[in-house]
Amino acid sequence: MPKKKQPEEASHKVNNPNVLGLHAQVVAQPVTQTLEVNYMPYAMSVIVSRAIPEIDGFKPSHRKLLYTMYKMGLLTGGRTKSANIVGQTMRLNPHGDAAIYDTMVRLSRGYGALLTPFVDSKGNFGKVYSRDMAWAASRYTEAKLAPVCAELFRDIDSDTVDFVDNYDNTMKEPALLPTTFPNILVSSNMGIAVGMASQICGFNLGEVCDTTAAYLKNPDCDLSETLLGPDFPTGGQLIADPDALREIYETGRGGVRVRARYRYVKEQNLIEIYEIPYSTTTEAILDKVAELIKAGKLREVADMRDETDLGGLKLTIDLKRGTDPDRLMARLFRQTTLEDTFSCNFNILIAGTPKVLGVRQILEEWTAWRTESVRRRVYFVLGKKKDKLHLLKGLKRILLDIDKAIRIIRETEEEAEVVPNLMIGFGIDRIQAEFVAEIKLRNINKEFILKRVRETEALQGEIDDLEDILADPRRIRGIITDELRAVKEKYAEPRRTALLYSHELPEPEEEEAEEDYPVNVFLSREGYFKKITPQSLRMSGEQKYKEGDGPSQSFESANAAEMMFFTDRCQVYKTRLSEFDDTKASVLGDYLPAKLGMDEGESVIFAVLPGDYSGALLFFFENGKAARVELSAYQTASNRRKLTGAYSDKSPLAAILRLDGDGELAVYSDEPRALIFHTALLSPKSTRSAQGVQVMTLKRGRRARRVCPPEETAIVNRSRYRVRSLPAAGALLKEEDSEERQMTLLEDEKPL
């Protein structure tokens, strides 16, 4: 028998005479091989070469930009056009001018994203606290390196770091920058890679230097004594939770709460917010406050506007008479991003491997890396001094008998033989002989000779000292500590984010409880919603609806209850009945698409009172499938008003039912067929958008149209349609079980 091909080796030819008469061959490839060959290299490139910072605190794009500016002489020179810098950087970073300029903006002083900016900018560089304040084009702005960059490039030419080829092998670039301070903890950094992300909060430069020095002295020191907490460029108040900070310091994961700072201007009865959390923007705050005002939850606010100018950020809230500003701000802290959580994920590349490290582990890695940089620098300087000493030793041997040296040079007939003759005459090597041959005649005097002898002795002492440094780790730690103190003295600034301890927090006020009382709610087919008290309902007459509209659902509930509205766009809107005004039966009610801010053309199809989120929802689709989804899948920790992906969009929806317990349901198709099944046959799905399982098998072109309890149908012989397993085709409807038949009989009855 011929050997059967394995699926991995299977191939087939596709003949297409229109393609230059050639045969195209398509070879099937296993998905695992596709992932390994095509996707994994891309994923690793994003992780290692783009999104995750390394131990020097920079991503590759940051490093390439700063090194280009350093080579352009922008550390000590004047500013140049940003477009010039962007163009030069493309020799190292081929990702396009827009991406390079965005990187420069983030590192700039004008943008304000870093506590210690590295680019001294001039012109409009936007603001980190505004999503709409765009920066000017690169041809309009200017930049140079900030003075602190001297600490990034210190001794970079002394073999402190490795250099690698750029993308086209035409020049060299540093693999890391030899920062003299732990920039990885000072510079805030965020990156999203493939399957992982990194989010590093910035710490105060002075505190980081003190903490690192304390760690070098005692690796088991208490970090919280010197590293008080994160420090953000936008200021604000950090709610210093010792447990949260300890978790971040130990694991590298966690979150810190930051709230805005404000002042009350009594004369004008207004609040001025002048610092906001680093993780939000002024536009996000204004939008949320406007939403709360529109919902009637901030009746104390007359107006809120953005008055940010050259003086800095300022959001102004005009208060109504009699408003307590502190109580209002306490509510705004709870309901808006004026108080927000900054999540930390200290994911860093260590020797090409991403690792999530706590602060102590980061200091351990940084000090090990910095120690190696200092050792390499000392080796480099030691080598230079040994080379010089070697030359001076050769010179010293010749100066002992200078007349002999002159005689050798004079008696040599060819210039090329001068160096070899000196080597033979004094027993020195070629390098020493070359150095001696280049000495000017005017330097052959007693003073020159004495100076060289003394220099030789001093040089030997320096070499001994450098060798002692290499042999003594304590001296290397001392050098690193001295550099840290120098950086702190020269570049450290006071904290911008104030620390707010638990005992300084005002006592949390209990939220005003919503008035709770019985209500009846009514939903119409076209999306009009009414909330009516039982007393008003008893006194009212007939329910009023628009022409062509009618009742869809009604409930008895309480004013404080939560309600969910499902729409035809696979979305669900969550709200509370207290947000609707009490009304009467004689009015149309609230139009839900407008009240809830739905998308254009979106309509409500089902409402449910979730209560304690027990029970489930059954989504039945026209293709005969049904998905049973637990109500708890719609429960959220935050006050989210809109959830997308409420149910599957693979097939039109035939019906939604709430299941508080298992029971029988009848399903009708348009053939017409019907079946009755027990809901216990449907297992709950873990995701809201699950497609479900096949309940009713349908012929081509047929659709499921109705789902309801058997009690609400006209079926007489239920056993005919009852099934014990799914899926099932059901049975053709008999005339006596048809609702049309029942209606006909009722209409034909005549009174005697």
Quote the pLDDT of residue 1: 43
Q: Which fold has domain 261-337?
A: Gyrase A; domain 2 (3.30.1360)
Q: Is the pLDDT of residue 75 over 70?
A: yes
**The one-letter amino acid at 207:** E
Strand pairing report for 237-240 and 498-501: parallel
Place of tokens 């046959």: 681
Quick check: 512 pLDDT over 90?
no
How many CB atoms within 10 Å of residue 151? 20
- What integer is the mean pLDDT of 165-169? 92
Residue 206 structure tokens = 């002075």
Residue 10 has pLDDT above 60, yes or no: no
Cα separation, 294 vs 529, in Å, equals 18
CATH code given to domain 52-179:
3.90.199.10
Q: Please report which confidence band the pLDDT of residue 517 belongs to, taking 50, 70 and 90 as the band edges.
A: confident
Q: Quote the CA–CA distance of 419 and 425 in Å, as a whole number.
A: 10
Q: Do residues 627 and 689 make contact, with C-beta atoms less than 8 angstroms apart?
A: no
Residues 256, 639, 505, 211, Cα dihedral to 10°:
0
Name, of 115-119, 404-408, 704-708, the range with top average pLDDT: 115-119
Asked if the model's pLDDT at residue 299 lies above 90, the reply is: no
**Token pair 């802290």 in the structure block, residue:** 333
Three-class DSSP labels, 726-752:
CCECCEECCHHHCHHHHHHHHHHCCCC
Q: Is the pLDDT of residue 42 over 60?
A: yes
Q: Give CA–CA dist 653/627, Å, rounded.
A: 11
Q: What CATH code is assigned to 518-748?
A: 2.120.10.90
CATH numeric code, 364-491: 1.10.268.10
For the chain, how far is it from start to end, CA to CA, in angstroms? 87
pLDDT per residue as tens digits for the range 637-692: 666 678 888 999 999 999 999 998 899 999 999 988 999 999 999 988 878 888 89
Residue type, 266: K
Check: CB of residue 107 under 8 Å from CB of residue 69: no
Which pLDDT does position 425 carry in this prediction? 87
What angle, rounded to 10 degrees, do the helices at 359-399 and 430-437 form? 70
Residue in the block written with tokens 């160096």: 419
Residue 2, pLDDT score: 44
**pLDDT averaged over every residue in the chain:** 88
DSSP 164: E
| 675 CB-contact burial (10 Å; exposed 0-12 / middle 13-18 / buried 19+) | buried
Residues 6+ apart with CB under 8 A from 629: 616, 617, 618, 619, 647, 684, 685, 687, 688, 690
* pLDDT for 14 beyond 90: no
> Which of 134-138, 291-295, 562-566 is predicted with the least confidence, judged by mean pLDDT?
291-295
State residue 685's pLDDT score: 84
Q: Which pLDDT tens digit goes with each residue over 16-31?
A: 444 444 455 666 778 8
Residues 687-721: b if buried by 16+ CB within 10 A, e if exposed: ebbbbbbebbebeeebbbebbeebeebebeeeebb
Amino acid at 369: W
Mean pLDDT across 293-312: 87
- Rounded mean pLDDT, 565-592: 89
Pairing outcome for strands 571-576 and 642-644:
antiparallel
Summarize the confidence of residues 151-167 as an average pLDDT: 94
The secondary structure of residue 69, as a DSSP letter, is H
- The whole-angstrom separation of Cα 660 and Cα 658 is 6
- Quick one: pLDDT at residue 3? 45
Smallest Cα–Cα separation from 474: which of 213, 216, 211, 220?
Answer: 216
Angle between helices 359-399 and 446-471 in degrees, nearest 10:
150
State whether the Cα torsion 595-597-603-608 is positive or negative.
negative
Looking at residue 416, its pLDDT comes to 86
**Contact, 161 vs 178, CB < 8 A?**
yes
Mean pLDDT, range 107-118, rounded to an integer:
95
Strands of 419-487 (E only): list them: none
Query: What was the pLDDT predicted at 637?
Result: 66
DSSP code for 47: I
Over its C-alpha atoms, the chain yields an Rg (Å, rounded) of 39
Tokens representing 568? 């035809």
* pTM listed for this prediction: 0.70
Q: Which phi and psi angles does 134 have, rounded to 5°?
A: -80, 150
Domain ranges of the chain: 7-43, 52-179, 261-337, 364-491, 518-748
Supply the pLDDT for residue 32. 80
Give the active site residues.
140
Q: Is pLDDT of 83 > 70?
A: yes
SS3 262: strand
pLDDT at 223 over 70: yes
How confident is residue 740, by pLDDT bands cut at 50, 70 and 90?
Answer: low
Selected residue with higher pLDDT from 72 and 400:
72
- The Cα 175–Cα 161 span in angstroms is 7
At 655, the amino acid letter reads A
Across 206-357, the runs of DSSP E, i.e. the strands, are: 237-240, 253-259, 261-265, 270-275, 301-306, 315-319, 339-345, 347-350, 353-356
Asked if 496 contacts 233 with a C-beta cutoff of 8 angstroms, the reply is yes
Closest Cα to residue 456, out of 446, 444, 464?
A: 464
Whether the predicted pLDDT of 497 surpasses 50: yes
603-630 average pLDDT score:
92
The closest of 260, 250, 208, 199 to 500, measured between CA atoms, is 260
CB neighbours of residue 168 within 10 Å: 9
Q: Provide CB contacts within 8 A for 218, sequence distance 6+.
A: none
Examine the pLDDT at 12 and tell me if it is beyond 80: no
Residues 435, 397: Cα–Cα separation, whole Å:
12
pLDDT for 9 equals 40
Mean pLDDT of the 230-245 span: 93
Query: Which of 171-175, 209-213, 519-523, 684-688 has the weakest average pLDDT?
Result: 684-688
Query: In this prediction, what percent of the chain has a pLDDT beyond 70?
Result: 93
Residue 741 has pLDDT above 60, yes or no: no
